[in-house]
Every structure is written in structure tokens, then in C-alpha cells.
Structure 1
């Protein structure tokens, strides 16, 4: 199977490439340092699986690119490989098309199992996170609304939120994302409304709490 590795650390990309290329049924056909490069590698190589880190500053995060790749290249399975054992991130990327979620400190054999599982069309969740997933399923009424409105944000709003929290102005955000200033203003208003925030300090506090500034 053809595999792409997306991680902002060169040593991580090299290390995982050595492990995977040693397997008789795997070949690393490309690597990427952020979400934009990850998308380009998928478009170029049409891999079976992409290992996607969530946090790849200062480039586009895996949180954003997962949704784009899942939408535009449905034959490529996205396996999140991250150090974040955060339930909210896991739920969000699974909702946006990821086929699996595994932690970077997992044993090599578990990583290989996860890759083969998602390649065959299955879903793989790291054992520690799987427990949280089952707990969440059991405790929630299927018709209830998530108490944290983070899941209500669109992909574009998740891109804009950390930029606002970091202090970028509307014009700077518009230039970074290649959209109009008016569009930025509309998205900012929707973010504040969906998250029930009243001021920028509250937005910054929320972004810090959700670790979005890492992205």
C-alpha cells in the first residue's frame, strides 16, 4: 500500500518512514510538513493511507486538512497520528472523515495494525481513546446536543478562530486564507454566536482551553 506521512518534525517523518518501508506490504511515497503539503502529496500520489499529525505549526493543521482530503480524495484513508489524547479532537476528526486515531507513543506493532485496518476499510481507535468513545456513547442520549459547541464550527471557522485569538486583524486573516475581509467578519460573528462568547478575551481563553493556539 502507498502511504504519505504528514508531520512538522523531519525526524518523525524519517523515523516512521524507516519503520513503514521495512514492511513488505508498505511504501512511503511522500512526506509533508503541514496540511497544505499533505493535500498536495495526496493529489500527486493518490496514496492508500495518510498518517496525519494534528498540530503542524505554522502551516495548516491536520485538523483542517483531514476534512479537505476526506472530501476530495475519499479513497485515501486518513489515520490521525498525534500526541493529543483529547476526546474532542478525536470526535471532531472522526466526524470529518478520519478513519482512525492513534497516539504517537503507541508501539510500532499497533501503528502497523492501525494502518492495515484502515486500509481494509475499518476504523482504528487507540485503546485508551476507544474507552473514552464507548463511555461517551453510553452516557449520551442519541438525541442530545453536545454540551461543548466546538463541533458546531465549520472547517473555515476552525481556521479563523486561532488566528483571531493570536491577534491577527481581519485584513491579515483575509490575506492568509485568500478570502475577503467581509467573509472574515461574517465568520467571526458566527464563531462568537456558536460558542456563545461576548468578547475577544473570552475567545482567547476558549482557544487556549481547546489548545487551538498550537494549530
Structure 2
């Protein structure tokens, strides 16, 4: 069973999401939180595999709650953010903090359930075109003259893979581009994410933009 924590400050939405998830095979709601503070406490105590996180809440919002949950919960869960607007600076901040993806609140139930299973399996849930528009709308404009010390630990091959991840390519597409095996790409990706202390592929995409490996408006898309 995939253990899910549902976080939303609106009781009817939270109850509806919890009922939907409980009725689905292979999924179990182990807790419900009405705000970010309660989400942090429940995540630490119940150790869910997936947190379904409302982004805009009073008090501790979904961005800050995501960052704290990923830093303080062991093992860290996957965070799937729910939002009303796809181009939202809160979503950008959540992806930057390590969320595995986001969904609109109007998403059909079957897609929501599939998304929970996807992130629980370790994959990132990202619509490449929407995610690129989101990141390009809010990423700070890089300055080429400034060094990017955060990338210093990476090898040349790891840096190139990070750039290709930033353009939205899958591991299979990266392997084809670099003429290597998909397993090799996965190995390099795991290593570079460890070196840069990244917890999700979405976070790697944001990093590729923020360090200037991918320039907004000039992404080398597949």
C-alpha cells in the first residue's frame, strides 16, 4: 500500500481527496492535515510515501512545508503539489524546494490517482511544456559573467546530463543523444543529484535554469 498524507486547508476538498484515495486499490490515507504546521508534524510521525500538498495555505504555506518535510522526515516522502493556477510562483518555489511535481485541482480523479502512483515509484510528474513556461516565468535571469560554484563538483558529462534534463528530455532521450546506455544516464543522474543535494528531477530542472545551463527562451528542446 502506498501511504499518503493529504494536506489542504479547506475541509471539504481535503475530505473529498482522502475519500477518493482511500477508495483506490493500493493506496491508503494515513493522515490528513489542515495546514503546513500540522503537515510537518504528521509527516515526521507517520512517514508517508507521498504527501499531497495544497500550495496556498494560511500560516506555513505549502512551499515552506515541503522544504521542511523533505529536510526533516526520514526517509523523505515524495511531495505532489496541488494548485489552482499552473503559472504560479508558489509552484516554482515548491519545485525548487524539491517537490516531485504538481497538479491542477481540476485534474480528473483517475489522473490524480495515477500521479500519486507515479511519484511514489520515484518518477517526476511534470508536463514539460507547462513546467518550462512556469520555470521561465519565474527563474532569475542568469548572468554569464558570474561563476556557478554549485556545479563545480560535477564532471563534464554530469554537467551535460544536467543541461539535457533541464531541456525536458527523458533518460532514454538523453541516452540516445549522448550515445550511451540508459543505465549510464541514470548512474550519472544519481551522482550529480547527490553532489548537488537535489531530491527530485524537477529540482534538477530548476537548477539547470538557475545556473545558466539552460537559458530561458532558448531551451534546446527535443
* Counterpart position of 1:4: 5
TM-score normalized with structure 1 length? 0.59
| Root mean square deviation of aligned Cα | 2.5
TM-score normalised by length of structure 2: 0.57
Q: Deviations over 1:86-136 (max 9, x none)?
A: 243222111101111111011111111211111111111257733525867
Question: Paired residue for 1:111?
Answer: 112
Unmatched tracts of structure 2, length 5 or more: 147-222
Residue 141 (structure 1) shift: 6.9
Given that 2:5 and 2:50 are in contact with CA atoms closer than 8 Å, whether structure 1 keeps it comes out as yes
Give the drift of 1:56.
Answer: 1.4
Residue 66 (structure 1) aligns with:
66
CA contact 1:82–1:104 (8 Å) conserved in 2: yes
Over residues 8-57 of structure 1, what are the superposed CA-to-partner deviations in whole Å (9 max), with x where a residue is unaligned?
01101110111101111100010001000001110111000000001112
Other structure's SS at 1:124 match: coil
Aligned to 2:133: 132
Say if 1:7 and 1:34, in contact at 8 Å, map to a contact too.
yes
**2:144 and 2:30 mapped to 1: Cα distance?**
43
What is aligned with 1:92? 93
How many Å separate the matches in 1 of 2:63 and 2:135?
22
More helix by share: 1
Spell out structure 1 runs of 4+ moving beyond 3 A: 133-136, 140-145
Q: How many residues align?
A: 142
Matched residue of 2:80: which SS? strand
Cα distance in structure 2, aligned partners of 1:141 and 1:23: 44
1:1-215 → structure 2 map (5 Å cutoff) = 1-57=2-58, 59-73=59-73, 74-126=75-127, 129-130=130-131, 132-133=133-134
Pick closer, same or farther for the CA change 1:144–1:98 going to 2, 3 Å: farther
| Conserved? CA contact 2:8–2:34, under 8 Å | yes
Task: Find the residue that maps to 2:85 and give its secondary structure.
Answer: coil
Cα distance in 2 for residues equivalent to 1:48 and 1:117: 12
Unaligned runs of 5+ in 1: 146-215
User: Shift in Å at residue 143 of structure 1?
Assistant: 5.0
